[in-house]
Structure 1
């Protein structure tokens, strides 16, 4: 059994371009589906957040219409409850990477608020990438990559193939013209090779030990790839 570190945003809002706070959090199924996959494979999940605050699911991500109906919503809610039952998260500053076989970052808009500018998270991502451990990041989770920086100011992810929530999906979700910045644009500016597929369809990109998923539908197949990588 391996220990897998889940790094979640500690924010329950996302500041829009006009300064208003949009209620958000982690996208429930992007945490629930991987959590279920990892624990079913016999692995242990440990949660860490900035400052060790309790993470909140985005209320919209618990709705039946985004979970295939009431039954799917109930299943996601039950897994999130198991996830919450793990107790108080670790503070990111207290994480010892050597304790974990893999690192996973779920999405939701919340990482754009805090993890995108969190130097401690950025250092952890850099260390995880350099260690060769499987590093999984899905949807808006790659916003955290923006805080990763080498001593010369370059991104450790420059030159990697990856995917994330696309400009097209942000437009269809109704936030592209309300956001302070778009994730795809910022990632491309880092020098990554951004791979975009059909909006809302599952899409996973693997480059060396970096595993990325484009959107919520990509969380489960991304987790399956990580389970295979862990043996």
Structure 2
């Protein structure tokens, strides 16, 4: 059975502030919905394992499908209350790793060696690297067995500087996705702010913002159903 590993953040506040952040609900829930429709199993992991906070702002951007997943006891138990720790993960069990967003990921995704090892192993055995929005932070510093950045020479996308400005967080976040991606040799593409946009480059599929989740999921589903 095809299975995907969903990565979520443990970070509850913007670093150095009391301003809450966390997982952007739709970026996990919409992906889960697409996987369920396609008969693809999922597991959930976070850098520390255990509890995953929700960005309260994300609750304003829900629909019936998102809320159906949110109310699913399995999602609540495995995806929010008791996510797996990286040490519990066998990369060989997964056809892809999917990095969700929410601003919190900018602090606990980029340099997590355990998650890097999992993603590298999945990619090395022909699996897919997926991300949406700020989730690209999980791929920005990932290197291959030759020591090169995985995104080097690849066309990718993620939450843009314009979107960061509109969100009012440009001066709060520790880095800007496009700047890091470009410095690591990636071809960073974008469309108009807050428009659905996903790009695929081989086994790398990335989405620009919260409105791109289903496009990322469907590109992956198309690949595994070939």
Taking structure 1 as the reference length, what is the TM-score of the superposition? 0.88
> Are 2:81 and 1:84 aligned?
no
- Aligned partners of 1:183, 1:21: CA distance in 2, in Å? 23
Cross-structure match for 1:43: 40
Cross-structure match for 1:57: 54
Once the two structures are overlaid, the 10-residue window that deviates more, 184-193 or 143-152, is 143-152
How big is the alpha-carbon RMSD for the aligned residues of Structure 1 and Structure 2? 1.8
Q: Within 5 A, what are the aligned runs for 1:1-231?
A: 1-15=1-15, 19-63=16-60, 66-67=61-62, 72=63, 75-82=65-72, 83-86=75-78, 88-150=82-144, 153-231=147-225
Q: Secondary structure at the match of 2:110?
A: helix
Q: Secondary structure at the match of 1:103?
A: strand
List per-residue Cα deviations over 1:97-142 (Å, max 9, x = no partner): 1111222111111110111121111222222233221221100001
**Cα gap change, 1:22 to 1:153, in 2 (>3 Å):** farther
- Aligned partners of 1:43, 1:139: CA distance in 2, in Å? 22
- Aligned partners of 2:195, 2:167: CA distance in 1, in Å? 14
Q: Secondary structure at the match of 1:221?
A: helix
- Aligned partners of 2:216, 2:28: CA distance in 1, in Å? 11
